[in-house]
Structure 1
Amino acid sequence: MKFTWGTGIALFYVLFVAALVFALVQSRKVDHSLVMEDYYQADIEYQSHYDKLANAKALPINLVISQELEKQVLNFQFPSDLGAIEGNILFYRPSDKDLDFQVAIRTDQANRLEVPTNGLTPGLWKVKVDWKAQGRSFYTEEVITL
């Protein structure tokens, strides 16, 4: 069989359509859900979030998040000079929103909080700490790997 221009053009179109069908099938396998359900509201509240970040950076002693592998806990050491702390800690899993959960901040006398990690799925987590002390709001975010 001789390879002519007509055969080449037909082969090109067949391969092009096959590539489009392959791309369509592959794109249907990807989860296109939004990272945040209410991203419009989150965009409106961005200035407040930025102010919380600036307040946290202005602290002389920052929030310290450390991991104790043998005890399977995360330690949160809040600045002790701020007094009573209130707020929430969001454990955000970028790969699966169903694993996200929140913990209310309840510190001891030394402004420390321990959160057990033995029930958490191993992998990458973003720890988002939104807290208040002395009438000011603060926000700290850290990436951890369990």
Structure 2
Amino acid sequence: MAAASHLKEDFKNPWFLGILALVGVALAGTIWMAVVAGQTSPGLVSEDYYEKGKNYFHETPKAEQGPQWRLSLMAPPTPVVGQSQIYRLYVVDEAGHPVSGASVVLYAYRPSDANADFEVKMTQADAGTFTAPVSFALPGTWDLIAQVKSNGRSFDITQRVFIKD
């Protein structure tokens, strides 16, 4: 009987109630985040992630040993949703000469929504200069990867841009 009345007194203590409420809120928040994570997009997803990961340690040292090209990706100063704007890539080989005749693709990844990802083939505007008009359908942060392929060699440059609404 004494234990039951002592338990009733504990439930009247404001410190006990506060700690109990804090644990309840933390538990509810954890459950909510688990539900949201299970129902939303996983973000940036590569379809061949296993092959890329398997080859990473074999390809990376080879690429770092050879002569490197210099790539510079130029985005518009204020990219805006729905506006087609020109993105430029400047490519110079290891000898400092502009690269011509390369195949260049610009990949746009939206970390928060893999369904919005797209790619654009860039065309050569001048020796060492490749351009592409790009229009983003959604605002927010985007990761751009420009990939240059020429004579069996491949070089990448990445850049993060924020697209205004």
Establish whether residue 110 from structure 1 lines up as the match of residue 127 from structure 2: yes
- Distance in 2, matches of 1:144 and 1:106, equals 21
Q: Which residue of 1 aligns with 2:81?
A: none
Letter in 2 for 1:24: I
Letter in 2 for 1:129: A
The 5 Å alignment of 1:123-142 reads 123-142=140-159
The 5 Å alignment of 1:1-146 reads 5-7=6-8, 8=10, 15=21, 16=23, 19-30=26-37, 31=40, 33=42, 35-36=44-45, 37-47=47-57, 50-51=60-61, 54=64, 58-59=68-69, 62-69=70-77, 72-79=85-92, 80-146=97-163
- Distance in 2, matches of 1:32 and 1:119, equals 19
Distance 1:93 1:47, change over 3 A: same
1:52, distance to aligned residue in structure 2 (A): 7.5
Contact 1:94 1:125 in 2 (8 A): yes
For each residue in 1:16-66, what CA deviation from the matched residue of structure 2 results, as whole angstroms up to 9, or x when unmatched? Answer: 45643442133212337364244322211213552586379833xx21111
Normalized against structure 1, the TM-score is what?
Answer: 0.70
CA RMSD between the two structures: 3.5
- Structure 1: runs of 5+ lacking an equivalent: none
- Structure 2: runs of 5+ lacking an equivalent: 79-83
- Distance in 2, matches of 1:92 and 1:6, equals 57
Contact 1:93 1:100 in 2 (8 A): yes
Describe the SS at the equivalent of 1:95: coil
Identify which range, 68-77 or 78-87, moves more after superposition. 68-77
Contact 2:43 2:113 in 1 (8 A): no
- Distance in 2, matches of 1:120 and 1:56, equals 38
- Distance in 2, matches of 1:44 and 1:130, equals 20
Q: Percent identity?
A: 20
